[in-house]
Amino acid sequence: MTAPLRLGIAGLGTVGTGVVKIVRKHRETLAARTGQPIEITAVSARSKSRDRGIPLSDYAWEDDPVALATRDDVDVFVELIGGEDGPAKAAVEAALAAGKDVVTANKAMLAIHGQPLAELAEVNTRVLRYEAAVAGGIPVIKALIEGLAGNEITRVMGVMNGSCNYILTRMEASGLSYQEIFAEADGLGYLEADPQLDVGGIDAAHKLAILSSIAFGTQVNFDGIALEGIERVSVEDIQQAADMGYKIKLLGVTQMTARGLEQSMSPCLVPATSPLGQLEGGTNTIVIEGDSIGQVVLRGPGAGEGPTASAVMADVIDIARGNRLATFGQPATELTAAKVAHSARPAAYYLRLALQDKPGALAKVATALGDAGVSIDRMRQYGHEAPTAPVLIVTHKTTRDALNTALAQLPTTNVVAADPVALRIEDL
């Protein structure tokens, strides 16, 4: 048996605590699987005194994660602090510069600073691994970098924010409004400290940006994602979608097109019977499509102590076994800056408008759409009591650009009361 692999863990929240538990519980199994004992030598967190239900007295304590990251008795720095900048990034940079391998669960940091961090890792011949950053316990990073590496990846899609999926699933089941279910989810502790990270789609988009980089060999580009949260999805939208055989999911799609890399994270209608449509609550599902494989679907817990710690440990075990991968699957200096495409794939759209009760109002809307080249597949107007009438429209396939042009024209008709809701229909 060789010398132990020594971990320094910064951040002892849910995930950090879970990692400590696994290292303690599976000491023998981990050594058998890697040929090397895995030990924790030092830890760091905001509060030393807080009771986390795990004994920390065996480990050295550092108040400063940067000090932890550069300790001589640390081989692998495990960053579980979170946040795209600040102490997390400073400590990761310090660790790589000091010749430590790094394992992190920090999707925001990788989505924003992934390229320079990958380059820093490479300059120092260290690895930077982040299985826990995407889809919790699902080994999707490994599947994409390794298991499907013989493929040209053609598309990656997924539902990768459990909180949004919980809210949408609960809205459908209860018939309660977004605002009511949001409050419920917040009360249950299902949302991030800044809930906008969840419901605004930002957290899920961070994950998508990382997947794109691996899938297409491109520099991670969070700003290139067409991003839309779930805040404007109504119970009525969910029910209308259900009538048409669809569910509404916060769906991430990344695809290399002739016009460039198209990444979107937005509420979409997906067939109710599809793997993504069937997904309920906090479970995540990632769909990977490649030229040889066809389609693979990975489904599992997207968050939580055990699943996320399981993913962190997979990275630690890889390092112990000597599996040293480039951060995004190929040398960082070879990753290309992809052209951003936002409207390459035509799709049908679901529109919900609030129409003012004026003669010829519906005709004016249809004309505005038609003038922009958006043709209508189905349209439905409701009986109503309010001064505005809800109108639902399903378009034929169109580009998002054409649709946006049409939507921009609508106010000039003077018959549309509020910003329309426009949701893409993805026939997977």
Residue choice 321, 339, 358, 378 for contact with a second copy (CB under 8 A): 321
Look at residues 188, 172, 156, 7 and name the one whose alpha carbon lies nearest to residue 80: 7
Is residue 39 near a second copy by the rule CB under 8 A?
no
Please report whether residue 294 would count as binding a second copy according to CB under 8 A: yes
Q: Residue 283 Cβ, how far from a second copy at the closest point, in Å?
A: 9
Q: Residues 157, 316, 369, 421: which binds a second copy (CB under 8 A)?
A: 316
| 260 in contact with a second copy (CB under 8 A) | no
Taking CB under 8 A as the criterion, the residue among 14, 124, 234, 330 binding a second copy is: 330
Residue 152 engages a second copy in binding (rule: CB under 8 A): yes
151 binds a second copy (CB under 8 A): yes
Q: Does 301 bind a second copy (CB under 8 A)?
A: yes
Instruction: Tell the smallest beta-carbon distance from residue 33 to a second copy (Å).
Output: 5
Q: Between residues 195 and 306, which has the closer beta carbon with respect to a second copy?
A: 306
207 included as an active-site residue:
yes
Question: Is residue 428 close enough to count as binding a second copy by CB under 8 A?
Answer: no
Q: Which residues of 22-46 are buried (b: 16+ CB within 10 A; e: fewer)?
A: bbeeeeeebbeebebbbbbbbbbbe
Which residue in the set 32, 123, 188, 418 belongs to the binding site for a second copy (CB under 8 A)? 32
Sheet holding 128-129, edge to edge: 60-62, 38-44, 5-10, 76-79, 101-104, 128-129
Helix H, strand E, coil C: the string for the chain is CCCCEEEEEECCCHHHHHHHHHHHHCHHHHHHHHCCCEEEEEEECCCCCCCCCCCCCCCEEECCHHHHHCCCCCCEEEECCCCCCHHHHHHHHHHHHCCCEEEECCHHHHHHHHHHHHHHHHHCCCCEECHHHCCCCCCHHHHHHHHCCCCCEEEEEEECCHHHHHHHHHHHHHCCCHHHHHHHHHHCCCCCCCCHHHHCCHHHHHHHHHHHHHHHCECCCHHHEEECCCCCCCHHHHHHHHHCCEEEEEEEEEEEECCEEEEEEEEEEEECCCCCCCCCCCEEEEEEEECCCEEEEEEEECCCHHHHHHHHHHHHHHHHHCCCCCCCCCCHHHCECCCECCCCCCEEEEEEEEEECCCCHHHHHHHHHHHCCCCEEEEEECCCCCCEEEEEEEECCECHHHHHHHHHHHHHHCCECCCCEEEEECCC
Total residues in contact with a second copy, by rule CB under 8 A: 59
Structure-token pair, residue 67: 């000090």
Residues 253 and 286: their CA atoms lie apart, in Å, by 10
Residue 167 in the binding site for a second copy (CB under 8 A): no
Q: Which of 98, 236, 306, 394 binds a second copy (CB under 8 A)?
A: 306
- According to the binding rule CB under 8 A, does residue 295 interact with a second copy? yes
Among 15, 74, 185, 312, binds a second copy (CB under 8 A): 312
Is 150 a binder of a second copy (CB under 8 A)? yes
Residue from 54, 67, 97, 317 touching a second copy (CB under 8 A): that is: 317
Sole window of 28-36, 101-109, 120-128, 339-347 interacting with a second copy (rule: CB under 8 A) = 28-36
**Of 3-11, 100-108, 146-154, 371-379: span binding a second copy (CB under 8 A):** 146-154
By CB under 8 A, residue 154 contacts a second copy: no
How far apart are the C-alpha atoms of 337 and 206, rounded to whole Å?
17
Q: Of the candidates 198, 201, 349, which has an alpha carbon nearest to the alpha carbon of residue 263?
A: 201
Task: Please tell me whether residue 278 binds a second copy under the rule CB under 8 A.
Answer: yes
Measured at the CA of 390, the angle between CA 389 and CA 396, to 5 degrees, comes to 130
217 binds a second copy (CB under 8 A): yes
Q: Which of 53, 322, 359, 383 binds a second copy (CB under 8 A)?
A: 322
Query: Does residue 256 belong to the site contacting a second copy (CB under 8 A)?
Result: no
Q: Among 334, 359, 386, 387, which residue sits at the site for a second copy (rule: CB under 8 A)?
A: 334
Give the range of 245-253, 296-304, 345-353, 372-380 binding a second copy by CB under 8 A. Answer: 296-304
Rule CB under 8 A: say whether 142 interacts with a second copy. yes
The interface region with a second copy, picked from 44-52, 87-95, 149-157, 187-195 by CB under 8 A, is 149-157
Identify the active-site residue in 107, 207, 247, 364.
207
Asked whether position 149 contacts a second copy by CB under 8 A, the answer is yes
Please say which residue, 236 or 305, places its beta carbon nearer to a second copy.
305
Q: Which residues sit at the interface with a second copy, rule CB under 8 A?
A: 18, 22, 25-26, 29-30, 32-35, 131, 137-139, 142-143, 146-152, 217, 275, 278, 290-301, 304, 306-307, 309-314, 316-318, 321-325, 329-331, 334
Q: Which residues are catalytic?
A: 207
